[in-house]
Amino acid sequence: MKNLRGPALFLAQFASDEAPFNSLESIAAWAASIGYRGIQMPSWDKRLFDLERAAEDLDYCQQILATLDKHGLSLTELSTHLQGQLVAVHPAYDEMFDGFAPESQRGNPAKRQQWAVNQLLLAAKASKNLGLSAHATFSGALLWPYMYPWPQRPQGLVDTGFAELAKRWLPILDAFDEAGVDLCYEIHPGEDLHDGVTFERFLEEVNQHPRCNILYDPSHFVLQQLDYLAFIDRYHARIKMFHVKDAEFNPSAQQGVYGGYQNWTERAGRFRSLGDGQVDFGSVFSKLAQYDFEGWAVVEWECCLKHPEAGAAEGVAFVEHHIIEVTDKAFDDFADSAIDQAANLRILGLSGEHHE
């Protein structure tokens, strides 16, 4: 059995123009000062990281790793959540998602998608150069506007959507395979890969690609009312990354899963800081330990109430408390006895019979 590593922190929600969050050196010093041992890097934020340079410059990659090592930190993974989203965008979301791309790519969906695909290809190279084994992303979505079947979806629409999604991602998955890196899709509402059924459908379309894997975040399953513990039982072989994020779901006479167009504070389903929500993390960590998950426990702060720095600080002790140091012993080893085949046969009443 293997130990989870952690705690680590996803930096996407913390990077800003204000110190200490405006450079890798200063944000690393801050993360280490509150107890983190690893960071997950948003690849789109030039204040912290240059993806294009990391894909081509091994010396730059060594500088990144040395900066983190100076503060006792490891680089857990790179993330292309924003770029992955742009690999597949339904026209209804064109204007809203344009902001995820550089200004030069906006207003031209085909050009924007080409840029996004290239970003993923760069991320495969950069991950290899940095010695990483997994990468975080979103799948994007062509079918999300048709999530609820009213009016009835035209026959073949979903098949066509998943076939196109797979067509766009297969060359990227092959690039990650060449780099020796698992591509982990965060299963997330708003993405075409938002639950187990959709992941399985996509997996079939990409021919069970060995690099098609999962970033497991139980908070998104609470908001969808999925069984997030049984999900681990079913998909543990494909779970290669873990976001430690909490959530709560409190339906009322007025709203449920869909949230009534309310803001995050007023929704029935809300993201919360660790320990303030409803996720049974004791069971989550136990199942991951049971299935030999050896990746990082990465805190992702998203809370509608608590300040991010408070949530980050509290997350250290929370993760440390939940990481299980797995055993190499059985609890009843004291009662063990050496194998004695003759005794076993006698116990079973088979000692008088002939056995090869």
- Is 295 inside any structural domain? yes
182's tokens: 């698992």
Question: 331: pLDDT confidence band, cut at 50, 70 and 90?
Answer: low
How many angstroms separate the CA atoms of 194 and 52, rounded?
29
DSSP secondary structure letters along 260-296: GG--GGGSSEEEE-TTSS---HHHHHHHHHHTT--SE
How many angstroms separate the CA atoms of 354 and 350, rounded?
8
How many angstroms separate the CA atoms of 88 and 141, rounded?
5
- Is 352 inside any structural domain? no
Residue span of the structural domain in which 270 resides: 5-330
- Is 341 inside any structural domain? no
Q: What is the DSSP letter of 89?
A: B
- Is 155 inside any structural domain? yes
Reported as a single tens digit per residue, the pLDDT across 191-239 is 999 999 999 999 999 999 999 999 999 999 999 999 999 999 999 999 9
- Is 349 inside any structural domain? no
How many angstroms separate the CA atoms of 187 and 221, rounded?
9
- Percent helix, strand and coil across the chain, each rounded to 5? 45, 15, 40
Domain count across the chain: 1
User: How much is the mean pLDDT over the chain?
Assistant: 95
- Is 335 inside any structural domain? no
* Distant-in-sequence, close-in-space partners of 42: CB < 8 Å, separation ≥ 6: 10, 11, 12, 15, 48, 49, 79, 81, 82
* Half-sphere exposure at residue 63, Cβ-oriented, CA atoms within 13 angstroms: 11
CATH of the domain at 195: 3.20.20.150
Burial code (b: 16+ CB inside 10 Å, e: under 16) for 45-75 equals beebbbbebbbeeeebbeebbebbeebebbb
How many angstroms separate the CA atoms of 287 and 283, rounded?
6
Reported as a single tens digit per residue, the pLDDT across 77-120 is 999 999 999 999 999 999 999 999 999 999 999 999 999 999 99
- Is 163 inside any structural domain? yes
- Is 194 inside any structural domain? yes
Reported as a single tens digit per residue, the pLDDT across 223-281 is 999 999 999 999 999 999 999 999 999 999 999 999 999 999 999 999 999 999 999 99
Q: In this structure, which amino acid lies at residue 195?
A: D
